[in-house]
Amino acid sequence: MVEKMLNEVPDSTSIVSEAVNSELSRRSFVKATAATLAVAAAAGTLSSLVGCGGQGGVLGVGNSKVYTSVCRFCGCGCGVLCEVAGGRLVSVTGDPDNASNKGLNCVKGYYLAKVLYGKDRLTKPLIRKDKATKGTDSGLTEASWDEALDLVAEKLKAVWKEDKSRLAFWASGQQPIVEGYLTAKFWKAGLLSNNIDPNARLCMASAVVAFMNVFQTDEPAGCYEDLDLADVFITWGANMAEAHPVLYSRLTARKLNDSNVKHYDLGTIKTRTSASANKTMLFKPGTDNAIANCIANYLVSEEKYDKKFVEAHCQFKAGTEDLGNAYEDGWDATDKLQEATGNDGVWGIEFSEYADMLKKYTFKYTSELSGVSEADLKELAEVFADKNKKVMSLWTMGVNQHNRGTWMNHNIYNIHLLSGKFAQPGCGPFSLTGQPTACGTAREVGTFAHRLPADLLVANGQHRRYTEVLWGLPSGYLGDDEEKNPGIMKPGKHTIKIFRDLSNGDIDFLWSAHNNWAGSLPNLTRFLGKGEKKGIMDAFIVVSEVYPTLSCDYADVVFPAAMWIEREGQFGNAERRTAIFEKAVDPPGDAKWDAWILMQVAQRVLDGEVIGGNDSFDTLFGTIWDKDKKDFINESQREISKIVWEEYRTFTNPTMNPTADDINNDVGDKFGVTADDGTYTPAKLKLFAKQMAPYDEYLSNHGLTWPVREVDGKWLGTKWRFAAGKQEDGFDEYGIAQYGQKDDAGKLISKPGNIDLYKTAKYKASVTFRPYEPPAENPDAEYPFWFCTGRLLEHWHTGSMTRVVPELDRALPEALLDMNAADCEKLGVKDGDMVTVKSRHGEFNIRVSTAGRTAPPAGVVFAPFFAKETLINLAVHDYYDPLSKEPDYKKTCVSITKA
Amino acid sequence: MVISSLVIEAIPDQVDSVAAELAKIDNVEVHSTQDYKVVVLVEAETVDASHAIASSFINIEGVTGINLVYTNFEDDPDIIEAVSQ
């Protein structure tokens, strides 16, 4: 019957003509379209039917037009096709030609229909005239754009001239690449300030630091296709079923296709992901580092590791172990941390030393520590010992939001490297991302306080010089002398430092764009002026937003921004896929493209400023903005985006600029970049390792995974970085050919099936011993419970978009505290009771659920963070990982009492 | 009407029972099955209602995944009202 159905699916032309000829009602036509598309999607033949770009198909018929796009919500970055008629979005279809999702979307795809059209969209600039109203949902009044822009520019310029350490920009993984790139350029080159950091600091920073430590390049080696090919999946503290549903659907499809495929779920609570895993292993919070070391110990002590792989591709290191826990102001500057992070705080060791360090992590010791049985630990270790198994590890916030999150990232790589399960189809560690374009915008264009575009670092002279060349700045403009001309040599304030300083009254100007820190930051009691620290009330705060959020309650000016397909944008997802969402509709009211808002402020602030004798603003933004017109040089956002993209792309295509190419090729010391002793050290930038394609290629290919290579006039993506093989099959042929390890005769050492870690200095990944460290807080008589926080399916982060969709709000109307029944009984509370959750940092009230979405074991409780009326972050501590500066949202100790 | 199509994934030996359960739901039409996948159409007054129906599929024994392929909301009165404001 199935085959019959599929055979009956007519081609697109006949559907259209049938619809027209037989004068089927519109409804019948839409139904036929719906059925045709879904049958084709199930069969994997959707591509020919959708008729994108007016090529003929079932979409875009009549007066409607179809635009290529990417889902607005999470880091999966699924392609969608947006059909627009009469100036509004009328349908959304999974994009079959975007290889990240192949035509399927999760139920959040429904929200796309409504996210543009929710109640209360911000459509006019707002100004707060009476500071006394700060912290409330009133006091903002409508203003003209000129009034709001003049005010913001005046405040920013005043603080900048007075003391630029007292200004900050909090950027976002919700913003497209071009907007993030322009913002970083304005802040770093225009204002010479590194006080810009993204909200990705709260979700991905631990992953980023580990990538750089282990492989010297950010982002995963593998891709989503690994989900279709692995034999064993391990989720480490990740509720993929709710947080990454489309990817989880691929994982379950793989399991259904082969009964030998297994999924182990490791975490501190049972989730929807646990429900479908073959085995769930619940561990005591924080002991994941011990579990990974236990696996490593087994592989090494039993000699079950991949000796050939280890010898060829690994070097061993140890690092500073006593890092303490970061809570106090000024903690970053302590000797302990300086020692730990100087030179990465690591040193080389022999393999035998590494083996000795692991010895403590026996099955017995680890089982007692973690609560996972010895048998289960052994079963997991055997997975890595089995040379024939392709293993994929997946993780997000459980690992990253961890007081030793960078270490846990290291430890996952360690067991994959020891077992040689790395960068091959279906086999390797894969760091999932949370936010939509955290990879593309926050990580790749340099909106971190320590970074420049393309993984370059502000603290590295050659990196700054390379950037100066591409930004048309005089040599040394970004700094060349710590005393006399520091420029941006010193990294700026990371996110938590920005907000700690803000609360202490040490930040006078904050601009945040597309993030809701007043709901999402940990320890809101500390940051929102609810404790003794009131700095937030005095600072001048600017918020760029699409809907009113809690952060707007603290804003002095709110800029109404265009969202999603109301402007052109570029998206970088978790598998290194860059894709474009086209502008398809106009923003409502006076809402504007963020790039326009930024340029307006930049023109005002940089008025009269010069760089090397030339006008500052024109030097930085003259290619896209006409100062006399006070607008872009071209009305087309496509054209503006292309100009910016081509400039950004030069960072990863050095040959587009001869001087940049010389720096990339280490042509002597003619660029004045020398070490203190006057010698020149080759920079080995290897920037083609992140090569991006021309803008139009992303439109015609519906996204490409970098590095993208031009082969016979065609641009091809890379599915498996560092893996030898043919480019057209998805392997990293050209990267290895260019930078790979060669023998004395100049011949490449790697063969198909091998890897070449060409981005590292010695062609070797770093396996660094990282021990178990107890969490920053541990349960005691006063605060006996672990409190874990997270996200559930219906609501995206702080709910600023999803809670304006009534049905979603009804589906999950209230944040509940999931508790174990035994704990409830002990406390005398029952399902539905209101309780007060109190920590050393703050408290909030919440309703208890014993039949909630998650099922915590005794001693652990869980609540999501989407609800502004249940502000759980008031009680969550802001201890952070000393290496990544990412806070640990998962292990605050609390008491629970009946309210 | 808001018209949507979805691919529902099921445990392979429960595809038939999943399809039968889906067919019992008001405003849901089972179009076809393929391997472990069931293709369904959902017709509802609004996106909200359509989403509610689609989300409820997870409660059916044997359903492992709900994938939205297409949703057309040109007639959703809520959206028409929101746009007109």
Q: Helix/strand/coil (H, E, C) string of A460-506?
A: CHHHHHHHHHHCCCCCCCCCCECCCECCCCCCCCCHHHHHHHHHCCC
A195-225 residue pLDDT tens: 999 999 999 999 999 999 999 999 999 999 9
CB pair distance less than 8 Å for A92 and B71: yes
Tally A–B CB contacts below 8 A: 155
CB pair distance less than 8 Å for A252 and B9: yes
Closest Cα in chain A, distance from residue B56 (Å): 10
* Minimal Cβ distance to A30: which of B3, B66, B69: B3
Structure-token match 């396996």, residue found: A767
Of A426-440, A679-693, A756-770, B9-23, which range is least confident? Answer: A679-693
CB A284 within 8 A of CB A371: yes
Chain B: which residues have CB within 8 Å of chain A?
Answer: 1, 3-7, 9, 11-12, 31-37, 39-41, 43, 46-52, 54-55, 64-74, 76, 78-79, 82-83
CB A446 within 8 A of CB A456: yes
Q: Is A357 a catalytic residue?
A: no
- Cα B32 → chain centroid: 13
Please calculate the CA angle A643-A644-A648 and round it to the nearest 5 degrees. 120
Give the list of residues 6+ apart from residue A713 with CB closer than 8 angstroms, or none: none
Find the catalytic residue in A204, A408, A552, A819: A204
Q: Is A212 a catalytic residue?
A: no
B35-61 residue pLDDT tens: 889 999 999 999 989 998 998 898 898
Is it the case that residue A545 has pLDDT exceeding 50? yes
A94: nearest CA in chain B? B69
* Interface-testing mutation among B33, B34, B40, B70, with chain A (most A C-beta atoms within 10 A): B70
- Confidence (pLDDT) at A664: 87
Find the catalytic residue in A52, A71, A397, A801: A397
Give the separation between CA A432 and CA A652, rounded to whole angstroms: 23
Is it the case that residue B33 has pLDDT exceeding 60? yes
* Secondary structure element (H or E) that encloses residue A212, with its range: helix A205-215
CB pair distance less than 8 Å for B72 and A106: no
Is it the case that residue A230 has pLDDT exceeding 70? yes
Percent composition of chain B: helix, strand, coil (DSSP 3-state, to 5) = 40, 40, 20
A286: closest CA among A325, A244, A341, A339? A325
- Confidence (pLDDT) at A438: 86
For residue A246, the SS3 value is: helix
Query: Residue A225, CB half-sphere, CA atoms under 13 Å: how many?
Result: 16
- Cα A628 → chain centroid: 37
DSSP string of A123-183, one letter each residue: -S-EEE--GGGTTSS--EEE--HHHHHHHHHHHHHHHHHH-GGGEEEEE-TTS-HHHHHHH
Find the catalytic residue in A175, A435, A600, A691: A435
Between the alpha carbon of residue A772 and those of residues A365, A446, A455, A615, A888, the distances in Å are: 12, 31, 29, 54, 15
Of A49-58, A101-110, A443-452, A538-547, which range is least confident? Answer: A49-58
CB pair distance less than 8 Å for A38 and B79: no
Give the separation between CA A41 and CA A301, rounded to whole angstroms: 48
From chain B, the residues in CB contact with A107 under 8 A are 51, 54-55, 66, 68
From chain A, the residues in CB contact with B48 under 8 A are 114, 805-807, 810
* Minimal Cβ distance to A106: which of B3, B41, B67: B67
Between the alpha carbon of residue A886 and those of residues A369, A522, A890, the distances in Å are: 25, 10, 12
Find the catalytic residue in A71, A74, A78, A203: A203
Q: How many Cβ atoms from other residues are within 10 Å of residue A201's Cβ?
A: 27
CB A84 within 8 A of CB A585: yes
- Confidence (pLDDT) at A344: 66
- Confidence (pLDDT) at A809: 63
CB A832 within 8 A of CB A847: yes
Please calculate the CA angle A47-A52-A57 and round it to the nearest 5 degrees. 70
For residue A93, the SS3 value is: strand
Closest Cα in chain A, distance from residue B58 (Å): 11
Give the separation between CA A826 and CA A659, rounded to whole angstroms: 70
A561-615 residue pLDDT tens: 999 999 999 999 999 999 999 999 999 999 999 999 999 999 999 999 999 999 9
Is it the case that residue A14 has pLDDT exceeding 60? no
Of A187-191, B53-57, B66-70, which range is least confident? Answer: B53-57
* Minimal Cβ distance to B9: which of A37, A83, A253: A253
Helix pair angle (A288-301, A363-370), 10° resolution: 170
Between the alpha carbon of residue A235 and those of residues A172, A299, A370, A433, A620, the distances in Å are: 26, 20, 17, 13, 44
Evaluate if pTM is beyond 0.90. Answer: yes
A247: closest CA among A68, A413, A71, A383? A71
User: For residue A712, what are the β-bridge partners?
Assistant: none
- Confidence (pLDDT) at A27: 86
- Cα A491 → chain centroid: 20
* Minimal Cβ distance to A85: which of B43, B54, B74: B74
A338-385 residue pLDDT tens: 766 666 688 999 999 999 999 999 999 999 999 999 999 999 999 999
Closest Cα in chain B, distance from residue A810 (Å): 9
pLDDT mean over A393-403 = 96
Q: Is A569 a catalytic residue?
A: no
Between the alpha carbon of residue A583 and those of residues A66, A89, A436, A473, the distances in Å are: 11, 11, 17, 32
**Is ipTM > 0.90 here?**
yes
Closest Cα in chain A, distance from residue B15 (Å): 12
Give the separation between CA A223 and CA A221, rounded to whole angstroms: 7
CB pair distance less than 8 Å for A30 and B32: no
Q: How many Cβ atoms from other residues are within 10 Å of residue A228's Cβ?
A: 13
Find the catalytic residue in A52, A77, A108, A492: A108
**pLDDT, chain A, mean:** 90
Closest Cα in chain A, distance from residue B21 (Å): 18
A779: closest CA among A840, A829, A870? A840
Structure-token match 């106009």, residue found: A586
Is it the case that residue A12 has pLDDT exceeding 60? no
From chain A, the residues in CB contact with B9 under 8 A are 249, 252-253, 256
CB B8 within 8 A of CB B56: no
Residue A200 per-residue DSSP state: G
From chain A, the residues in CB contact with B66 under 8 A are 106-107
From chain B, the residues in CB contact with A104 under 8 A are 7, 67-69
- Confidence (pLDDT) at A673: 52
CB pair distance less than 8 Å for A811 and B55: yes
From chain A, the residues in CB contact with B22 under 8 A are none
Of A300-314, A446-460, A471-485, A859-873, which range is least confident? Answer: A859-873
* Minimal Cβ distance to B52: which of A27, A89, A807: A807
A273: nearest CA in chain B? B64
Q: Is A435 a catalytic residue?
A: yes
- Confidence (pLDDT) at A4: 30
A85-124 residue pLDDT tens: 999 999 999 999 988 888 889 888 888 888 898 888 999 9
Structure-token match 């096709």, residue found: A81
Query: Order of strands across the sheet with A88-94?
Result: A65-70, A79-85, A88-94, B63-72, B2-10, B37-44, B28-34
CB A362 within 8 A of CB A294: yes
- Confidence (pLDDT) at B70: 95
- Confidence (pLDDT) at A16: 44
For β-strands A614-615 and A610-611, DSSP reports them as antiparallel
pLDDT mean over A264-289 = 95
- Confidence (pLDDT) at A54: 40
In this structure, which amino acid lies at residue A512? S
